[in-house]
Structure 1
Amino acid sequence: MRRWRIFSDDEGTAPLEFILAGMLLLVPIVYLIVSLGLIQEQSLGVESGARHLARAIATAPDAASARDRADAVADSIVDEYGIDRDELDVAISCRPAGECPRAGATLVVTVTTRAALPLVPPVLQLDRLASVPLSASSAAKVSRLWGQG
């Protein structure tokens, strides 16, 4: 009995197909995982920074110590979460509007930055275009004894 081999010239192509298909699927998946991890890390940093900055400023006894505390918290956030210091923007406002911070006001701190995607070259500002904007806000009540001690 004779067996007909229809695809006799396909012998040995399975490893090549596996490598080719594996690379085509594996490289984008790894890039996606790395990118999402970077974005998640920096979004946690922005959220944590807003919360800790609001708390540090609201519990400070005066403006000078509030500034020192805010600088220490910002430096800690930059070091801990790998955020670019030049991209970090902190906005502070009070409600009701007026001098900020002040006794009895609600302090609102907004922290924004941009998470640059990995492996994007800085040619023609592509790294600026290939980045994800991140922002977080936090509110804290300033002590009624602010500036009295």
Structure 2
Amino acid sequence: MLRRRVWSDDDGNAPLEFILGGLILLVPLVYLVVALGIIQEQSLGVESGARHIARAVATAPDADTARQRADAVARAIADEYGIHPDRLDVAMTCRPAGECPRAGATLVVTIATRASLPLAPAVLGIDRLASVPVSASAAAKISRVWGDG
């Protein structure tokens, strides 16, 4: 009779255990999905930005227009992909080395930023520590007659 009473005291705990176990497993999984989504969005943004800036500069008629186009594309990418404009680092180099951009060179555009993880507090710089660096590069060949027109 004592054995039957011990077993009967456990009735009704399965739904509570299911809910508690589900929450313990579900919350980190949702956080992971959201964090990976943010990192993927930022990765797509820098890749798209590098490609479009390289193309915009390579097809510009002169250096001033190229600079204006690069700035406009960088602002558009920052707005579209939710990247803070101050955290967007754009670097342009030409191969072979020399003044960049110039006629006949291969332009390499590299964009880098940091994707901040969600729910990271700005206390003691934790938000900067809880971020993932993302970067992308793209190359475009500049015409030999670039800047002559």
Distance between the aligned counterparts of 1:125 and 1:16, measured in 2?
38
Q: Determine helix, strand or coil for the equivalent of 1:147.
A: coil
Structure (1/2) with the larger helix percentage:
2
Q: Which residue does 1:142 correspond to in 2?
A: 142
Q: Determine helix, strand or coil for the equivalent of 2:93.
A: strand
Distance between the aligned counterparts of 1:7 and 1:47, measured in 2?
61
Aligned pair count reads: 147
Q: Which residue does 1:105 correspond to in 2?
A: 105
- Map Cα deviations across residues 50-102 of structure 1 (whole Å, 9 max, x no partner): 00000000110001110111111001101111111111000100000000000
Q: Determine helix, strand or coil for the equivalent of 2:87.
A: coil
Q: Which residue does 2:72 correspond to in 1?
A: 72
Distance between the aligned counterparts of 2:47 and 2:86, measured in 1?
18
Correspondences of 1:1-149 after superposition (within 5 Å): 5=4, 7-149=7-149
Q: CA RMSD in A?
A: 1.1
Distance between the aligned counterparts of 2:86 and 2:115, measured in 1?
12
TM-superposed CA distance for 1:108, in Å, is 0.4
Q: Could you tell me the TM-score, scaled by structure 2's length?
A: 0.95
Distance between the aligned counterparts of 1:55 and 1:22, measured in 2?
49
Q: Determine helix, strand or coil for the equivalent of 1:79.
A: helix
Q: Determine helix, strand or coil for the equivalent of 1:86.
A: helix
TM-superposed CA distance for 1:137, in Å, is 0.5
Q: Where has structure 1 moved over 2 Å in runs of 4 or more?
A: none
TM-superposed CA distance for 1:146, in Å, is 1.1
TM-superposed CA distance for 1:103, in Å, is 0.3
Distance between the aligned counterparts of 2:103 and 2:129, measured in 1?
42
- Map Cα deviations across residues 13-49 of structure 1 (whole Å, 9 max, x no partner): 1121011101100100000000000100110000000
Q: Determine helix, strand or coil for the equivalent of 2:85.
A: coil
Q: Give the % identical residues.
A: 74
Distance between the aligned counterparts of 1:145 and 1:7, measured in 2?
88
